[in-house]
Amino acid sequence: MRIETTAYYDEMIRYAAMAKTQQTECNLGTIPHLEGSVEDDLMRHVELYDVANRKYAGFTQIVLDLFYNTSPNHPYAHKLHDVRKPICESFDRVEYVWGLAEWLYVFITHRVTGSGINYAKKPSGYNNTILPKFAGCDTIEEMAKVIANRTSTIYTSVGYQFPAFPKPIDGYKLGGDYFLCCYAPKLARDLAEWLESKGKRDLRDIGEWMFAWNKQQGLRAYKFQYAAVVSDIADFFPQYANLNSPFFYGTNAVECLKYAAKPLSKGKEQDFLDEVTMKFCKDISSTAYDGEDIFCDGIRWIENYVRPGHDYNHLDRDKIWNSSTIIDHPYGRQKAMLEHGLISTFNSLTVHPSDDHVLKLAGISKGQYLLKVHGFD
């Protein structure tokens, strides 16, 4: 399929370069974000955009702690913070007792419960997570017992989404607990056996196998959450995955990809998305599964995303902006919305103004907004 890239594509290339620099300097390095070389106000103040490889994103941080524990191979061994250090120390023994199936169960648990995400907190990725309590477990059954006997919440929907869990039975109060205790153990073992039966498999093939497994059990596919599990397999057990194969696309990535290019010939949407992603990954020397995550964060960057509250509550959201050259993007939190009086202040909002929230508040259409920004109204 032939495509034509747009100004958004150029901005994604630039954003990816800045994210890679911040990942090196600040995320993996020790330079504070405010003191790094990236000259982007939003990226300096909001520690969400410092990721070029999804393995180092907030939603995978605690998995890194379990997998690498106190090993010098831990990407953050040189800067174990107060939340991370005790977790790492408590998982020193698991490398001797956990096999592929146990790790797959950990991945599945982490992803279907929300990946510990809370974008308003630093460090992100440790919110309402059950994973630290798996430290003394040798088997999947012991992990499931920890979940069944838990007394605190293990789910977070702050910046994430839950699958449609089965209706709980057999004394379970929540569908998520029921799934993790009665379905996920078999899924983890079946998936491990399937992965170990052959060499490297394409990322989409792994995902499709998981979707089909769910359907055979009468469950929804859990596409969003299982795609994250597939990326965990790629990051932590690359011997089972073709890292350069096509990946799945989340809602945010699809939105960003459609801004980044336009099709010049007819074809399926999947082919268009793959074509744009393939070009992008070639241009930045990345993989499709990392590129997808860059597009997810990239549209947040374009829309000046910062979650109000907690560690970001002090930020003046009328003054902290990205460095994007696209001045007429109509969605999210935009400087032009203030300048043209669509909203008096962003600081009074208790949530990020997603999509066309501000346009609706102002009672104008996307077209009317674009006319205002370009001086025709």
pLDDT, one tens digit per residue, over 94-110 is: 999 999 999 999 999 99
pLDDT, position 159: 62
Reported as a pLDDT band with limits 50, 70 and 90, residue 162 is confident
Whether residues 224 and 115 share a domain: the answer is yes
On the question of pLDDT at 160 being above 80, the answer is no
Q: How large is the average pLDDT for residues 343-360?
A: 96
CA dihedral 157, 160, 161, 162 (to 10 degrees): -60
| Domain-embedded: residue 211 | yes
Q: How large is the average pLDDT for residues 119-140?
A: 92
Share of the chain above pLDDT 90, in %: 94
Q: How large is the average pLDDT for residues 77-88?
A: 96
| End position of a domain, from candidates 242, 275, 305 | 242
Q: How large is the average pLDDT for residues 294-318?
A: 95
Query: How confident is the model over 352-376, as pLDDT tens digits?
Result: 999 999 999 999 999 999 999 999 9
Whether residues 222 and 365 share a domain: the answer is no
pLDDT, position 309: 84
| Domain-embedded: residue 296 | no
CA dihedral 236, 239, 244, 249 (to 10 degrees): -50
Whether residues 204 and 351 share a domain: the answer is no
| Domain-embedded: residue 268 | no
Whether residues 344 and 232 share a domain: the answer is no
- Per the DSSP assignment, residues forming a β-bridge with 262 are 4
pLDDT, position 14: 98
Q: How far is CA 66 from CA 42, 71, 84, 90, 350, in A?
A: 31, 10, 10, 9, 34
Whether residues 223 and 331 share a domain: the answer is no
Phi-psi region of 213 (alpha: psi -120 to 50; beta: other; left: phi over 0): alpha
On the question of pLDDT at 59 being above 80, the answer is yes
Q: Which residue segment(s) compose the domain that 343 sits in?
A: 327-377
206's CB contacts (< 8 A; 6+ apart) are: 195, 230, 233, 240, 241
Whether residues 31 and 160 share a domain: the answer is yes
Query: How confident is the model over 175-217, as pLDDT tens digits?
Result: 999 999 999 999 999 999 999 999 999 999 999 999 999 999 9
Reported as a pLDDT band with limits 50, 70 and 90, residue 92 is very high
63-72, 97-106, 303-312: range with lowest mean pLDDT: 303-312
Closest CA to 361 of 375, 373, 374, 345: 345
pTM score of the predicted model: 0.96
Whether residues 46 and 140 share a domain: the answer is yes
| Domain-embedded: residue 307 | no
| End position of a domain, from candidates 242, 276, 295 | 242
Query: How confident is the model over 267-287, as pLDDT tens digits?
Result: 999 999 999 999 999 999 999
| Domain-embedded: residue 351 | yes
| End position of a domain, from candidates 226, 242, 258 | 242
Whether residues 219 and 114 share a domain: the answer is yes
| Domain-embedded: residue 317 | no
Share of the chain above pLDDT 70, in %: 99
Query: How many separate domains does the chain show?
Result: 2
Q: How large is the average pLDDT for residues 235-251?
A: 98
| Domain-embedded: residue 345 | yes
Whether residues 237 and 367 share a domain: the answer is no
Cα–Cα distance between 205 and 203 in angstroms, integer? Answer: 5
Whether residues 236 and 331 share a domain: the answer is no
pLDDT, position 192: 98
Q: Supply 123's token pair.
A: 């460090």
266, exposed or middle or buried, with CB in 10 Å at 0-12, 13-18, 19+? exposed
| Domain-embedded: residue 247 | no
Whether residues 220 and 340 share a domain: the answer is no
Average confidence score pLDDT of the chain: 96
Reported as a pLDDT band with limits 50, 70 and 90, residue 161 is confident
Whether residues 86 and 223 share a domain: the answer is yes
